[in-house]
Amino acid sequence: MLTAVLAALGSAAGASISNAMQHQAAGAAPPGKRGAVGLLLHLGRSPRWVLGTLIGLVGFVLHGVAVRAGTLAVVQPIATSGMVMAILGRSVLDKALPSAREISWAFVTACGLTLFVVSANPDVRPVGNESRTGLILVGIGAVVAAALSYAARRTRGENARGLLLGSSAGVLFGMVAGVLKLVANAFADDGLRAALTSWPLWVLIVIGLSGIVLNQHAFQGSPLSVSMPVLNVVDVLVAVGFGYAVFGEVPAHHPLALAAEIIALLLMAVGVRQLTRELGGTFFRSSTPDERRRRIADS
């Protein structure tokens, strides 16, 4: 378990640096770059975004090590703490020191994360047909994510759009964690050839890239305080559900543990919400897109 925790912390650190750099680059993209291909082609010419993506890949490898060594109910909440670190990192990129309030809300989020990991304490019960069950869940998750993304395109409100895109990206990232565990298990049990020729690897690439695109659109079109909290919570819930259904990872579910897990999720959601209001919300709401790009260029 120690290996899983350390690898998950490394993954979170990589994700935090990656997301902070990607968010700054995506926020500076011209408003017309809203199509998936156009936005990615534009961002691909940004050295900051490319470096952030490479750092994110290192974090992704560490994430694979973590899910192989531990349960999704423990690993995924730790991995998503990178989102909180990303908000602090974004503040650093903007040359602004965190305030006492920001540090306080980061502490609240960390307490919620710790409480969830300790209280979940999952048991692993062997189940069969992992591959088939995983494929079914991926299909269901893809439909849900597509429906949320479609609804986001149909809405005009900035906050509603960010909420829907954050939820959609959260569903995909939660499934990425589960499918990544399938890939890691195949590699560990049957070798590289089995991992390369099985369906989870190719599905992982598709849903991973889709999640990245949705996340960039959420970054571009709405405040962090809207998309980030819901993405974190949905990501964890989907990953824990995937672990339960596919790998038999059963979180503690006696009344006291359930109460602690609910309180922990609320602390995480409130902490991230307040952090993003402090750091991300003010930045986006206080300026126009052109002003934001000028401020980023000046920094």
Segment 15-25 shows an average pLDDT of 75
The segment with the largest mean pLDDT, out of 72-81, 102-111, 164-173, 209-218, is 164-173
Q: What percent of the chain has pLDDT over 70?
A: 79
pLDDT score at 92: 67
Range in 56-60, 263-267, 271-275 the model is least confident about: 271-275
pLDDT score at 96: 66
88 pLDDT more than 90: no
Segment 268-295 shows an average pLDDT of 56
Total residues belonging to the chain = 299
pLDDT score at 284: 41
pLDDT score at 283: 41
Global confidence as pTM: 0.74
Number of other residues whose CB lies within 10 A of the CB of residue 269 = 17
